């Protein structure tokens, strides 16, 4: 993921382009097999974006900050606990801890709702840019995430073929139940129509 050292350059709002290229390469090497994407924390945002854009055949978002909550709930990045400001500062290639002026507008720039990729409330059709919203998506998180609003996880339930799991008594990425959660996501994935036919499908 861009901004983590796995790929050159800082974390950009359109970092999904790199992941889309990876999916294309997987499809080239394994023609006819479905591809799924699983992302935890910030990478979960890309899971939602790839699903809404129809890039993958299924996606799992665990704790992704999608900016989907309505009404929008502002995130005070410098005040986030547990070293998260430093993590974001590194991802954005800043020289030190992010100052308010340096990250002003950052949450809005990454918001999938502001990018027109999630339908308005009550409209379970397509994003405003005509993207395909029928790719199965699982959005999961702890019910008491200390970093992102609950609506970032529950809001995508308004689109078709989306399953939402809020894990009681758990925090960011449902870390308190991180062992059973991935096992449950595999069960969810293998019950999607495309993957029932291909039990050896690749996961990006």
Give the model confidence (pLDDT) of 78-133 as tens digits. 777 777 777 777 787 777 777 766 666 676 778 888 888 876 555 544 444 445 55
Q: Copy the structure tokens of residue 131.
A: 């993207």
Please indicate, yes or no, if residue 91 is contained in any of the structural domains. yes
More confident residue, 94 or 189: 189
Q: Are residues 176 and 97 in the same domain?
A: no
Q: Are residues 143 and 97 in the same domain?
A: no
Q: Are residues 86 and 148 in the same domain?
A: no
Angle between helix axes 42-52 and 16-29 (nearest 10 degrees) is: 60
User: Which of 110, 136, 168 is at the close of a domain?
Assistant: 110
Please indicate, yes or no, if residue 130 is contained in any of the structural domains. yes
Q: Are residues 60 and 79 in the same domain?
A: no
User: Which of 84, 110, 136 is at the close of a domain?
Assistant: 110
List % helix, strand, coil for the chain (3-state, nearest 5): 35, 15, 50
What pLDDT is attached to residue 70? 66
Whether residue 187 contacts residue 140, with contact meaning beta carbons closer than 8 Å, is answered with no
Q: Are residues 127 and 97 in the same domain?
A: no
- pTM for the model: 0.82
Domain count along the chain: 2
The secondary structure of residue 7, as a DSSP letter, is B
Domain range spanning residue 102?
73-110
Q: Are residues 97 and 162 in the same domain?
A: no
Q: Are residues 78 and 56 in the same domain?
A: no
């Amino acid at each position: 993921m861009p901004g983590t050292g796995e790929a050159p350059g800082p974390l950009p709002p359109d970092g999904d382009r790199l992941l889309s290229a990876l999916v294309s390469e997987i499809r080239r090497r394994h023609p006819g097999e479905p591809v799924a994407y699983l992302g935890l924390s910030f990478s979960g945002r890309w899971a939602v974006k790839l699903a809404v854009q129809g890039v993958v055949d299924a996606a799992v978002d665990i704790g992704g900050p999608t900016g989907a909550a309505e009404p929008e709930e502002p995130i005070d990045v410098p005040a986030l606990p547990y070293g998260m400001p430093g993590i974001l500062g590194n991802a954005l290639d800043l020289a030190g801890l992010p100052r308010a002026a340096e990250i002003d507008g950052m949450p809005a720039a990454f918001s999938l709702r502001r990018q027109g990729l999630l339908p308005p409330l009550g409209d379970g059709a397509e994003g405003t840019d005509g993207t395909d919203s029928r790719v199965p998506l699982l959005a999961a998180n702890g019910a008491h995430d200390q970093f992102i609003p609950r609506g970032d996880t529950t809001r995508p339930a308004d689109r078709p073929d989306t399953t939402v799991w809020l894990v009681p008594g758990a925090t960011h990425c449902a870390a308190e139940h991180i062992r059973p959660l991935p096992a449950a996501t595999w069960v969810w994935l293998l019950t999607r129509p495309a993957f029932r036919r291909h039990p050896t499908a690749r996961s990006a």
